[in-house]
Amino acid sequence: MTVGKFRIHREGYKIIAGVMFALALLNIAGWVIWDGPATYHYIALGVSLLLLFFIVMFFRAPSRPVEPDPLLIYAPADGKIVVIEETYEKEYFGDNRLQISIFMSPFNMHSNRYPISGTVTWTQYQPGKKFHARSPKSSELNERSSIVVTSESGTEILVRQVAGAVARRIVTYSRKGEKVHQGDELGFIKFGSRVDIFLPVDTEVDVQMFQQVRASRTIIARVI
């Protein structure tokens, strides 16, 4: 759904409609049932509008076209860098990888994008727990969805969507064998989460800890 230049993500249509309906009913019921000062009704209406505004902003989906570059690796999500370290990735690679993790607060845009162009060569969904997304163990124990993209040069990059304490659903659009382009949407996580990206250990990193990044805008690393 597009309003002017503002676009609402399709994952939010039903939720926004449901919230609008529920808030309208509550406010109408308040006016009909409770015969109190009008000031309180206006306060309730104001709070309802603020909540609705927050929900709408959560599901915003800005257009971020990218000029593909095989040597650049873009951030797959909006948020803050919370991990930059070499770690053992056991689900797919079975060896050491450079892990960069981006924490998405409820105020960030939650559409996830492909950091490189290539072919989706592996996908896996794993149900799990609800540890806070900043926790190191969330990457291995929380609900998560992993996607491996192999570039034309053979470089494999794993992107992992990780549900946080308040996240309610991970949506992944990736399908094994499909061709994808840098900046295209790979999925969406609803209400707070993080995205991990696993790179070859010799990758040149372009970001720092606690840096704010934007999907398909911030270059987080370069292929050597």
Boundaries of every domain in the chain:
2-58, 72-222
Options 2.40.50.430, 2.70.70.10, 3.30.450.40, 2.60.40.1180; CATH of 72-222: 2.70.70.10
pLDDT for the residue 37: 84
Task: Answer left, alpha or beta for residue 221, where phi above 0 means left and psi between -120 and 50 means alpha.
Answer: beta
Task: Answer left, alpha or beta for residue 79, where phi above 0 means left and psi between -120 and 50 means alpha.
Answer: left
- pLDDT beyond 50 at 184: yes
pLDDT for the residue 21: 94
Instruction: Count Cα neighbours of 193 within 13 Å in the Cβ-side half-sphere.
Output: 29
Question: With bands split at pLDDT 50, 70 and 90, how would you rate the model's confidence at 4?
Answer: very low
Q: Look at the alpha carbons of 113, 115, 117, 119 in this order and tell me if their dihedral is positive or negative.
A: negative
Question: Which listed residue (48, 111, 174, 193) is catalytic?
Answer: 193
Whether the model clears a pTM of 0.95, i.e. scores above it, the answer is no
Instruction: Note if 48 is an active site residue.
Output: no
pLDDT for the residue 166: 57
Q: Could you give the CA distance from residue 52 to residue 85 in angstroms, rounded to a whole number? A: 38
Over the stretch 59-118, which tens digit does the pLDDT of each residue have?
A: 888 888 898 899 999 999 999 999 999 999 999 999 999 999 999 988 898 899 999 999
CA 166 to chain CA centroid, nearest Å: 13
Which tokens sit at 78?
């909006």
